[in-house]
Structure formats: structure tokens, C-alpha cells
Amino acid sequence: MSPKITDAQRDHKRKEILEAAMRVFTRQGYQATTMKDIVDESGLSRGGVYLYFTSTKEMLIAIIEDMDRESYDQLDELLTQYPSVWSALNALFDQAELDIKNFETCLIPALYEALMFGWRNKTYEDLNNARYDKSIAKIVDLLQAGVERGEFRPLQPLETIASMIATFNDGLMIHAMQLGPERSRSAEQIKAYKQVFKNLLGVQEEGTE
């Protein structure tokens, strides 16, 4: 009879496995990673890992769900942390710049690789659709707060502006990955896009930082 394990122990083990998976995905990408790579990295037994996850795809989805939960929470808290909605938005742009600088040691390229590769066989279609809709809804909520506070007088529907932010963000990340931040002028683009969105949102001068 095996010893009973508590929920806390279970959560801890799950976290340990996912952290090993993130290190391997970050190092060698998603497609090139096998379950054996992650078992080896975790230092746990094969059977121990398979109790929690039976494929790298399951691990990837669990990692994305954890990351999304965290970043949705961050989005919800943004408004309490910054004096204006516009300065909160600027923090998001600055975060993108930071992510780009840390690409070599960050999971984002592996995520893009996995989600992009899954496109044709629709592996991640439902996940992609749900994540996109939820991100857009979160950004719209943020922008709507700016409108209600009298900070913004937007020139376009908020849904369109939110989609444009998502397009810009993903385009920027993918170019920085493929070409490097220097060649794709990431920093200059982020600076210019801040100006673009300031204009599109009709940021009222008293509302800026």
C-alpha cells in the first residue's frame, strides 16, 4: 500500500515537474523535447512523472494555464498599482521590451513555436481562441476604465485598439526572436508604438504620467 500524499505534496510535485519542463522547453524548444528529457531534468522517476502528465503537450497546456492565470491577475492589479490607466499600459509595453531582452532565458519562443506549429492540425485551436478572446477582453476592460475616468477619448472602437495591441505585441516578439532585437529595431518600435497608441486612445494630457 502506498503512503497517502497530501494535496500540498501533490501540488509541490506537479510544480517541480512543470519547472523542469519549462527549463527544457526554454533550452531546446517544444518540438525537440521528449518526455524522457523532462524526466531526466526533473530527477524524478519516469513513473513519478507520468502520474502527473502523460505527454509534453499536457505539460505545455498546464504551463500556459498557470502563466495565463498569473498574467490575468497582474492585469487586474495594474490599475491599483499605477496612477493612471495610460501609465499602466506603458508598463505593459515596458514589460514587452524586458521580455525581448531576456529571450535567451525565457519560455516565450518555445510557446510561439508550439502554438504556431500546432496551427495546421488545429491542435491548439480552442486554446488559442479562448486565450485570445480573454486577453482582448482584459485589455478592453483596462481601456474602458481609461474612458470612464476621462483619461481617453479613443479614435477607434476599444476592441479594435485591443486587437491592434495584440498584433503589435506578437509581431514584435516574433521579429525579435527571428531577427534579434537590434535588427528588428525593437526598442525604437516600442517607443514609436507608445506614441501611436497614445494618439489612438486620445490620451488627454492631464491623464498622462
List residues binding its own copies (CB under 8 A): 28-29, 31-32, 109, 112-113, 115-117, 119-120, 128-129, 132-133, 155-157, 159-161, 163-164, 166-172, 174-175, 177-179, 183-185, 188-189, 192-193, 195-196, 199-200
Q: Which is nearer to its own copies, 90 or 189 (CB)?
A: 189
Q: Which is nearer to its own copies, 75 or 166 (CB)?
A: 166
Q: To which residue does cell 497582474 refer?
A: 74
Minimum separation from the CB atom of position 70 to its own copies (A): 22
Q: Which is nearer to its own copies, 163 or 204 (CB)?
A: 163
Cα distance between residue 143 and residue 162, in whole Å:
8
Cα torsion angle, 169, 147, 71, 133, sign:
negative
Cα distance between residue 143 and residue 147, in whole Å:
6
131 Cβ contact partners less than 8 Å away, ≥ 6 residues apart: 64, 68
Q: Which is nearer to its own copies, 57 or 175 (CB)?
A: 175
Measured CA angle at 144 (ends 171, 163), to 5 deg: 20
Minimum separation from the CB atom of position 11 to its own copies (A): 31
Minimum separation from the CB atom of position 10 to its own copies (A): 33
Amino acid at 87: S
Listing DSSP states for 93-135 in one string gives HHHHHHHHHTGGGSSHHHHHHHHHHTTTTTTTHHHHHHHHHHH
Minimum separation from the CB atom of position 164 to its own copies (A): 6
* Closest by Cα among 95, 75, 71 to 85: 75
Q: Which is nearer to its own copies, 55 or 167 (CB)?
A: 167
Minimum separation from the CB atom of position 183 to its own copies (A): 6
